[in-house]
Amino acid sequence: MIDWLLAGARWGEGDLVWTTDPLLVGGAALVALVAWAVALLGGWRAVRSPPLRLLESALWAVALGALVVGIAGPEIVEEDGREELGKLVVLVDGSGSMGVSDGASVRSTAAMEVLETLRGAQDPMDVYTFDETVRAGAPERFEGRGTDLGAALDVIADRHLGQELRGVVVLSDGLDRGPLRREVAAAAEQGTLSASAVPVLPGPVTFIQTGEAEALFDVSVEHVTSGGFAFLRTAVALQAEVRGPPGRAVPVTLSRDGRTVREETVTLDADGRADVEFTVIPRQVGRFAWEVSVPVEVGDAVPGNNVYPVVVRVVRERTRVLQVSGSPSYDQKFLRLFLKEDPSVDLVSFFILRTREDFRSGWQQNEMSLIEFPYQRLFTEDLSTFDLVILQNFNYRPYFSYGRDDLLLNIADYVRAGGALVMTGGDRSFDLGEYARTPISEVLPVELGVTGVKTDESPFRPKLTASGAVHPLTRLGATADETESIWQRLPAMDGTNLSLGLTPGSAALLEHPGLVTDSGPLPILAVREVAEGRTMALAVDASWRWSFSEAAEGRGNQAYLRFWKNALRWLVADPDYRRVVVFPSRENVLLGDEMRLTVRVRDAGYGPVEGAEVVGSIESPDGVRTPIALTTDAAGEGIFAYRPEMRGAHRVSVGTGNRAADRGSTVFAVSNRDPELADIQPDTTFLRQLAALYGERGRFVAPGAELDLLVDESARRSVPDRRVVSLAGAPFLALLFGGLGGLAWVIRRRNGGV
Amino acid sequence: MPHEAWSRRAVLGAMAASSLVGPDAWALGAASQVDIAELAIPGASIHRAAAWQRLLFELIQTTSVEANPETVQIAPEDPNLFAHPFTVLIGRDALPPMSDDGVEQLRRYVSYGGFLFFDDASGSRDGPFAQSVRALCRQLFPTRPMTPLPGDHSLYRAFFLLERPVGRVAVSEVLEGVTRGPVTPIVYCPNDLSGALHRGEDGRDRFPVVPNGELQRREAVKLGVNLVMYSLTSNYKHDQAHVLELMRDGKLE
């Protein structure tokens, strides 16, 4: 009966706990108090007998109190415990190196076979997966990017603190990437190895090695060091580390864009290592992908580590300019001052200070501080070291004594290969410099071959053309109107070289206001893109007046500086100064890692373009294209997130139109060269050392050996037994509330209450 | 105001000299050619147009520079100053205070590429003209005082290799100047360079040169050529290629 009244709770045993929120209980008590007061006040005067009044109120108080107690959620908690056989804990290495094949068997398969054997023979048993973290359960995939065995052992020790385990089993190839392996190796080398190096475990431990070093065959490009960036035309070393079977001769190939650049065969040393260094000289600015690879042979454990892609960003340290002037002049002076003061320019000047005609002046050679004009070296071996060559009123004929045609051809080829050339006006320039029908004339933006009078010496003010109004080179103001007004106020020129007009594909940015050619107004400033290079023709020799005359008006020399800065920037066609630029968040990305591509769009004046619709694609090594579509923000930028799924060089091409100027491109390298696949030889020594550190409570089981686990059959674990009985619904509370409440009601009714 | 005129003989000599460089040796317009402007300060400046014309002819005959052998006189406040990037001021006595506009314009002129040469005709070191030139330079560039040019300055090797910058006299072994960054746009000569170059109407040298006579005058011509060449090429002769080559030839140590 009592058992029924207490809903099964044993009287005097267990702890009474209240499970309802105290605030809720307080609220219920308040409501009960108010109900008690209302009930009594409502029927107080109707009950005649004072003792009955007191009895009724007491009954109501007890009934409502029972209700509040029920709401408070009383529970009786009885705790007890019992002992059972200790557990066996199995730690399975789930890292990527476990996916390696050692000859005929894969390490992960061997580990799962051992696990299945244990499942059939050991109970109770808990299984955990460890790599860079620890998780309950067996591994579903062996793709972990790290192995931290020390941390895994710590977790097991913490989780079973105060308990006894029948045993701990570690299934691993011993390739720990955490600190434990390094510390054990260092301590062993110093002779200071002790049991304090490993966590104390609540049971004996057996290390079962998976994978056999002797059966492994793998040749890999371990790492390639590039520094990530290189300077234009400066040798950069790509150092690769190759690993494989000791003594083996391995051909190592350096390639770019799928084409072999260099190949070298190295012999691996006794440790199975060899270093190879490739030296390359970047000839273009931008991002370029190189790949170092070794052949994939039959049985290679990890074919994926035979190629190592790396992207190097080639930057221009400084713009290297060659200024050759046929005569010291104000035009040459002001241009040199500008170039010399620009810290981003590395200037090499050569001025012809004396001509053959001057030799008759009677001065001795040793009185003069003159050197020979090294034209042959400049226009052969040194030529490709310059970003820009300025021929300023320079006539080649008196100086190019030997190999004249070849030297001119060199300059033209230099332009086609990506160099930049400027020719400015004067009495030794254009047709007066006898450049007509030379290779130079084939790359200039103006047509040479003027016969008769070759200059016009009437002062004139150059006129901005429609192309000049939008071209970045002639943009001197913040707006088109300001640019126009600046050009209108700049001083007149003293005359001009004549030409036959523009060559095909060229654009005139400034033209003569009066003189015309057969193809239109006489071009004064013209530009042209020739294959990979760019050229500019400025048919006057008084651009210095744009500096000095502006200064006379108190306006400084900004117009002149901006003009030549714009010219430099446009001529060298730096990729970062293109109108559409795309660059990756990282040049070298791990497979599966998310990376971002930032696209920047600028207008002709290099101002940000908001709302530009950019389309393009990312081409993976297998030729599959992932489309890109984005709209630029107020800063003229848009970001495209991408998660590469294939190893190798990925090429990105984006644009706002089809013209070359409206398009940008870049490249990034994707590697699956996570540390897990860098070193895949099973580390037997480490596993043996660990087992030894645990002394009698540690054992090492070699691959293929009998599965002889170290277990402690006396290990016991305490299993808690907990019994909870809720009193909220116990009959005695219901009886108190219902019975006493009903009795109070009857008393009121019988004594005239309502 | 002292003023020595351009002689007929000198004109004939100039025509002969110019013909040596051939018919093509002219810039697109005469305005683009190198010329020399004399700064005119009433009551203080001396004008020796013939000296500069002689120098410009020597320049044409000796170097590849295209020069216009005409000399103009111009006030410091005149905006046309900016049409002549090479300006000289010859004086013997102290210069009167210059107007604010004149100082401001000279400062802009020198800051943006002009070259200003002060020639002391007094034949003395640290005379009144030198002191007033120093005071003017302090006005122009308060933080850049006039200092002696070091022996390896580009001016001493801009065309000729100079051992001493002599003129009509040789009272100082160095030139002085105001250097801004890599260039020296203001140069002061205490040795009366123009006095050594100047000729009278008869075509003869106007002043004797002391103490070394005609040999010193020859050196003065070389200094004049170097001045113009330096104003055009600035520190070109300090470029590495030139220094190495000159050292290889034994012309520099």
Q: Are residues A230 and A251 in the same domain?
A: yes
Taking CB atoms and an 8 Å cutoff, what residues of chain B touch A330? 32, 34, 85, 232
In this prediction, residue B164 carries a pLDDT of: 92
User: Which residues on B lie below 8 Å from A549 (Cβ)?
Assistant: 82-83
Query: What tokens appear for B220 in the block?
Result: 């003065």
On whether both A306 and A291 belong to a single domain, the answer is yes
DSSP state, residue B63:
S
Identify whether residues A205 and A228 lie together within a single domain.
Answer: no
Please tell me the total number of residues recorded for chain B in this structure: 253
pLDDT > 50? residue A498: yes
Note whether A569 and A499 are same-domain residues. Answer: yes
CA distance A361 to B58: 8
Residue pair B21/A357 in contact by the 8 Å Cβ criterion:
yes
Q: What is the pLDDT of residue A516?
A: 96
Beta bridge partners, A463, equal A511
Q: Are residues A101 and A187 in the same domain?
A: yes
Contact between A166 and A713 under an 8 Å Cβ cutoff? The reply is yes
In the predicted model, is pLDDT for residue A61 greater than 90?
no
Contact A546, A330 (CB under 8 A): no
Interface of B with A in 78-137 (CB under 8 A): 79, 81-83, 85, 105, 108-109, 111-114
CATH of residue A263: 2.60.40.10
A365 at the B interface (CB within 8 A)? no
Confidence of residue A606 (pLDDT cuts 50, 70, 90): low
Q: DSSP of A593-660, one letter per residue?
A: --EEEEEEEB-TTS-B-TT-EEEEEEE-TTS-EEEEEEE--TTSEEEEEE---S-EEEEEEEESSSSG
Q: Over the stretch B4-32, which tens digit does the pLDDT of each residue have?
A: 333 333 333 332 222 233 333 345 767 77
Distance, CA of A696 to CA of A29 (rounded, Å): 64
- Mean pLDDT along residues A138-156: 90
CB of A249 closer than 8 Å to CB of A275 = no
- Residues A153 and A162: their CA atoms lie apart, in Å, by 15
Give the distance, in angstroms, between the CA of residue A752 and the centroid of all CA atoms in the same chain: 89
Q: How many domains does chain A have?
A: 5
Tokens coding A575: 């990729």
Nearest CA distance, B55 vs chain A (angstrom): 13
Residue that wins the pLDDT comparison between A619 and A15: A619
CATH number at residue A602: 2.60.40.1930
CA nearest A458 in B: which residue? B29
**Percentage above 70 pLDDT, chain A:** 95
Asked if the C-beta of A638 comes within 8 angstroms of chain B's C-beta atoms, the answer is: no
- Same domain membership, residue A309 and residue A328: no
At B219, is the secondary structure helix, strand, or coil? helix
Q: How many CB pairs under 8 A join A and B?
A: 170
Residue where one domain finishes, among candidates A556, A573, A590: A573
More confidently predicted of A231 and A440: A440
Residues A542 and A432 in one domain: yes
Are the C-beta atoms of A747 and A59 separated by less than 8 Å?
Answer: yes
A117-132 residue pLDDT tens: 998 888 889 999 999 8
Taking CA atoms, A256 is separated from A288, A535, A586, A704, in Å, by: 8, 29, 19, 45
Chain B residue closest in CA terms to A494:
B29
Give the residue from B19, B32, B86 with the most A CB atoms within 10 Å of its CB, the best one to mutate: B32
Distance from CA of A432 to the nearest CA of B (A): 8
- What whole-number distance in Å separates Cα of residue B190 and Cα of residue A104? 96
DSSP string, B121-185: TT-STT-HHHHHHHHHHHHH-TTS--EEPPTT-GGGGSSB--S---SS--S-SS-EEEEETTEEE
Q: Does A348 touch chain B (CB under 8 A)?
A: yes
**Is the per-residue pLDDT at A186 higher than 70?**
yes
Half-sphere exposure (Cβ direction) of A574: Cα atoms closer than 13 Å: 20
Q: How many other C-beta atoms lie within 10 A of the C-beta of residue A217?
A: 16
Phi, psi of A741 (to 5 degrees): -65, -45
Q: What angle do CA B99, B103, B107 make, to 5 degrees?
A: 170
Distance CA A560, CA A554 (A): 14
Q: Which amino acid is at A443?
A: V
**What's the CATH code of the domain at A133?**
3.40.50.410
Dihedral of CA atoms A549, A552, A553, A559 in degrees, nearest 10, equals 40
Query: What's the pLDDT at B29?
Result: 65
Distance between CA atoms of residues A576 and A356, nearest Å: 45
Question: Chain B: residue nearest A555 by CA?
Answer: B108
Whether A47 shows a pLDDT value over 80: the answer reads no
B192-225 CB burial, b ≥16 within 10 A, e <16: bbbbbbbbeeeeebbbebeeeeeebbbbbbbbbb
Residue count (chain A): 754
Q: Is A276 helix (H, G, I), strand (E, B) or coil?
A: strand
Domain co-membership, A411 together with A532: yes
Alpha-carbon gap: A476 to the closest alpha carbon of chain B (Å): 18
For B38-92, write each residue's pLDDT tens digit: 999 999 999 999 999 999 999 999 999 999 988 999 999 999 999 999 999 999 9
Q: What percent of chain B has a predicted confidence (pLDDT) above 70?
A: 83
* Shared-domain flag, residues A688 and A613: no
As to burial, measured by CB atoms within 10 angstroms (0-12 exposed, 13-18 middle, 19+ buried), residue A322 is buried
What phi and psi values does residue A13 have, to the nearest 5 degrees? Answer: -115, 150
CATH number, domain containing residue A483:
3.40.50.880
Q: How confident is the model at residue B246 (pLDDT cuts 50, 70, 90)?
A: low
Structural domains of chain B, with CATH: 8-248 (3.40.50.12140)
Based on the domain organization, do A543 and A631 belong to the same domain?
no
pLDDT tens string B106-118:
999 999 999 999 9
Q: Which of A530, A555, A573 is the last residue of a domain?
A: A573
Tens-place pLDDT, residues B150-202: 999 999 999 999 989 999 999 999 999 999 988 999 999 999 999 999 999 99
> pLDDT band at residue A440, thresholds of 50, 70 and 90?
very high
Task: Please give the pLDDT value at position B76.
Answer: 95
For the record, the structure tokens of B195 come out as 């006095």
Q: Which long-range contacts (CB under 8 A, 24 or more apart) does A684-689 make?
A: A684/A174, A684/A209, A684/A213, A685/A174, A686/A174, A686/A176, A686/A181, A686/A184, A686/A185, A687/A170, A687/A172, A687/A174, A687/A207, A687/A209, A688/A207, A689/A184, A689/A188, A689/A193
Overall average pLDDT of the A323-336 stretch:
94
Instruction: Tell me: do A91 and A226 sit in the same domain.
Output: no
Instruction: Tell me: do A396 and A456 sit in the same domain.
Output: yes
ipTM over 0.85 threshold: yes
Instruction: Measure the CA–CA gap between A424 and A331, rounded to whole angstroms.
Output: 9
The answer to whether the CB atoms of B251 and A369 lie below 8 A apart is: yes
CB spacing of B246 vs A544 below 8 angstroms: no
What residue type is assigned to position A490 of the chain? Answer: L
How far apart CA A346 and CA A460 sit, in angstroms, is: 34
Q: What residue numbers bound the domain in which A293 lies?
A: 220-316
The chain A residue lying nearest B237, using CA atoms, is A369
Write out chain B residues lying below 8 Å of A334, CB-based: 113
Least Cα separation, residue A228 to chain B (angstroms): 31
Are A432 and B24 a contacting pair at CB < 8 A? yes
